[in-house]
Amino acid sequence: MSSSDPLELIDQYLDRVRIYLPLDSEDVIVELQTHLIEEAERIGGGTMTAGSAMMAIERMGDPKNVAHEYAGSGKKVGPVPAEYVAPLSRMLIVLAGVALALIVGAMMIGATFSDLFGFGIENWPFSIPIMLFINITIILVIIGGISLLDRSKPLTDKTTLESLFGIGVEGFKPKTRWEAAGDLVMGIIWGVILLLPPVVALYTDAFRVFYIYVVVFLLLGAARGALFYLFGENNFNLSVEAILSVVWIGLALILVNVGFPVQYVYVNQGGTWVTFDMLEFFQTNEIPFVPFDLIWAFVMFITVAIAVWRIIVSSMKITMHLRAGKGIWWQGNWGERRRLRKPFWKRVLGDQDSIQEGTVYHDGYMDSEESQ
């Protein structure tokens, strides 16, 4: 599905190159982007057209070769060609990380390993990584066949294999500014809500002992959000993220045993709000299934799985940045991908200011590059 927008063509092509590059190669993408735009303008006699962009792309060549030339020292690993080593290992790390996160999350809520080695895996958390593995194997076999059909695709269209490798790219993308702002705002909002006396009155006795630690954790999470919002991804912020994730796992160990934190809800009785004991309601009405602890275990499972994933990603990125000699602190970047094409809302509303004389492109670029 090739576009007629030259910038979209370049963007699509660079998306393919990005898949084969190591993590933290955004500067290479920007350099190639500038090269392609200038080359397309030169070919088009000063104006970039879809045709001139396509010619510039064709001159640059196959995305995996381009990425391999830039990555430089990529080496073949076993039967895997050098240009596939980075995307394949990244994808496998993502899958292994997801599996590990799910297993740790399952252990937290007390799921047992007893059936794991006897193949009688009925505990649903364990079946997820195994299903993932089986399905990915099947997909890889199918993709081997589909890839044969991809050969005639234009250079700007991702192959099926590249779509799969895209999982690895997405899995390690830095936090976007929106996500960081979300962490900041939601951390403060929930921290304050959990502190409100009318809310505290709803807690179980057991949770009332620990809720202040949850509030502190939420506020620390908000501080982490502020750090990422202001300074992007750097080793200091990644360390904060990893430490907070470890702290959360420790806290979750206690909280999962504390049980569902809310025992009461407010109900309106004759114009006044009174508390209503949910647990008592279930027990006095002899409702056999009390879902609260199950809900709580599920919440803990999800949050611990996310925390484990964050520890894995942060540790990998910190190591990678240290190897690149970046140290601890720098003005980092965010996960917003620089889109060359005009955003949909601007296309609908029209954005004449952004279209320059003599050129037909617009850029959603924000000055988010690392200054180091």
Partner 1 sequence: MSKKTQEELDRWSKEVKRGAVTLAILALLSKKRAYGYEAVKLLDETMSFLALEQGTVYPLLRRLEKRELLKSEWDYADPTKPKKYYAVTEEGLKALGAMTQTWSVLSREMRDVIMEVE
> Given the rule CB under 8 A, which residues bind partner 1?
27, 30-35, 37-39, 59-61, 65-66, 69-70, 72, 340, 356, 359, 361-363, 365, 367, 369
Report in angstroms how near the CB of residue 230 gets to partner 1 at its nearest: 19
Select 286 or 367, whichever has its Cβ closest to partner 1. 367
Select 135 or 372, whichever has its Cβ closest to partner 1. 372
Query: Which contacts of 200-206 are long-range, i.e. CB under 8 A and separated by 24 or more positions?
Result: 201/264, 201/275, 202/262, 202/263, 202/264, 202/265, 202/266, 202/275, 203/261, 203/262, 203/263, 204/258, 204/259, 204/260, 204/261, 204/262, 204/263, 206/258, 206/259
Report in angstroms how near the CB of residue 38 gets to partner 1 at its nearest: 5
Report in angstroms how near the CB of residue 162 gets to partner 1 at its nearest: 20
Please report, as a single letter, which amino acid is at residue 110: G
Q: In whole angstroms, give the CA distance from residue 335 to residue 346.
A: 21
Report in angstroms how near the CB of residue 118 gets to partner 1 at its nearest: 52
Query: For 203, which DSSP code?
Result: B
Report in angstroms how near the CB of residue 63 gets to partner 1 at its nearest: 12
Select 61 or 250, whichever has its Cβ closest to partner 1. 61
Q: Note the Cα 215 to chain centre separation in Å.
A: 25
Report in angstroms how near the CB of residue 332 gets to partner 1 at its nearest: 15
* Burial bucket for residue 324 (CB in 10 Å: 0-12, 13-18, 19+): exposed
Phi, psi of 234 (to 5 degrees): -140, 175
Select 53 or 258, whichever has its Cβ closest to partner 1. 53
How far CA 319 is from CA of 238, 314, 334, 369, in Å, comes to 11, 9, 18, 20
User: Can you point out the beta strands (E) in the chain?
Assistant: 264-269, 272-277
DSSP count for the chain of H helices, then E strands = 14, 2
Select 25 or 234, whichever has its Cβ closest to partner 1. 25
Select 357 or 367, whichever has its Cβ closest to partner 1. 367
Report in angstroms how near the CB of residue 48 gets to partner 1 at its nearest: 10
Select 27 or 280, whichever has its Cβ closest to partner 1. 27
